[in-house]
């Protein structure tokens, strides 16, 4: 089987490189690194043109990434939520990408291909954050070229050693393929179990958007907290009127002025309200008795037809000293 794969790459190398890189960058779990390494090794013995391999892989990266970029730019947070739900780490994939974006901005694209998960998330995130198209294409092309150069270069330089590995896999026959498949399946199961354990540990009573709206209408005035990251608020500038804008790591400090018997409702825009549940857990440890995540988060509130406000471009998106966001509608 391994010999057949190598023969296919040797005969249809450029087409296979293009398709494999394209579908991997589109988000499908078909790693392109082995194909690029083998293509580099074949280039070292003259079976494939090295420059053409690099250019074909670069073209595939740009096609997929630009498509994701425009999807993120036009559809914004909905694309991010879709990617987050299909990710093996849906509760942290976008959050971690947003934090990296806040630190590095468009330059994150220079290393995105080397970071598992970030490669697929980064292009639509750049679009949702309204990174300028020409800057996106420049950094994405440079980052893709760097990644392709490293991977293909490894195959080119270590072609002899790769031949030994391929020979060993071929000698092992279908056993090697079965072992690799079993390892991949085990990885998926472990990630699923980690996610399930996290959700079980954060199982709290949620408050529905109708219940929250009723509390507001009855004058109960609960403290509503938006714990999305700054980058997330740039991508989706909607907020529930009167909400405090606080980053997840600062919730306990920013709410130290709130009485522990006060109703506190926390919302985010992540799957299963994970970030909101984490914040609620932390506040409950401190003694808060009426803190609950908002079921469905910001999207559920907006989908129910309740009023939202929009952060102005010049408005700060993180509160200091528990300042309250008030009445800045765009």
26-40, 52-66, 88-102, 299-313: which has the minimum mean pLDDT?
88-102
Place of tokens 């306990």: 252
Q: Residue 271's pLDDT is what? A: 63
pTM above 0.75, yes or no: no
Q: Would the pLDDT of 86 be above 60?
A: no
- Packing angle between helix 50-75 and helix 133-157, nearest 10 degrees? 150
Average pLDDT over residues 286-307: 89
Q: Residue 322's pLDDT is what? A: 35
Q: How far apart are CA 297 and CA 89, in angstroms?
A: 19
In the chain the domains, ranked by start, together with CATH numbers, are 2-201 (no CATH), 209-310 (3.40.250.10)
10 CB-contact burial (10 Å; exposed 0-12 / middle 13-18 / buried 19+): middle
Query: Per-residue confidence at 195, pLDDT binned at 50, 70, 90?
Result: low
Query: Per-residue confidence at 221, pLDDT binned at 50, 70, 90?
Result: confident
**How would you write 267-306 as a 3-class SS string?**
ECCCHHHHHHHHHHHHHHHCCCCCEEEECCHHHHHHHCCC
Q: Residue 54's pLDDT is what? A: 96
């Amino acid at each position: 089987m391994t010999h057949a794969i190598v023969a296919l790459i040797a005969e249809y190398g450029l087409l296979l490189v293009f398709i494999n890189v394209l579908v991997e960058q589109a988000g499908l779990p078909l790693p392109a690194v082995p194909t690029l390494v083998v293509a580099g090794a074949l280039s070292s013995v003259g079976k494939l043109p090295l420059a053409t391999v690099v250019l074909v892989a670069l073209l595939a990266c740009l096609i997929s990434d630009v498509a994701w970029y425009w999807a993120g730019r036009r559809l914004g947070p909905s694309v991010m939520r879709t990617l987050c739900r299909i990710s093996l780490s849906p509760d942290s994939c976008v959050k971690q990408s947003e934090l990296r974006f806040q630190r590095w901005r468009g330059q994150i694209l220079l290393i995105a291909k080397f970071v598992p998960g970030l490669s697929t998330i980064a292009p639509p995130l750049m679009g949702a954050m309204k990174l300028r198209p020409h800057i996106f294409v420049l950094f994405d092309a440079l980052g893709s070229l760097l990644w392709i150069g490293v991977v293909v270069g490894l195959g080119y330089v270590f072609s002899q050693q790769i031949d030994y590995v391929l020979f060993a896999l071929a000698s092992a026959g279908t056993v090697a393929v079965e072992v690799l498949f079993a390892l991949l399946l085990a990885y998926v199961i472990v990630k699923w179990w980690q996610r399930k354990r996290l959700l079980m540990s954060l199982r709290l009573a949620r408050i529905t958007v109708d219940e929250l709206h009723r509390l507001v209408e009855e004058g109960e005035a609960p403290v509503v907290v938006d714990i999305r990251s700054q980058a997330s608020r740039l991508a989706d500038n909607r907020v529930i009127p009167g909400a405090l804008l606080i980053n997840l790591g600062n919730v306990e400090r920013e709410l130290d002025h709130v009485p522990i018997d006060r109703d506190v409702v926390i919302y985010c825009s992540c799957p299963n309200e994970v970030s909101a549940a984490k914040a609620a857990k932390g506040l409950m440890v401190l003694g808060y008795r009426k803190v609950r995540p908002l079921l469905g988060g910001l999207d559920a509130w907006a989908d129910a037809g309740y009023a939202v406000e929009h952060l102005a471009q010049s408005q700060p998106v993180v509160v200091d000293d528990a300042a309250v966001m008030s009445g800045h509608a765009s």
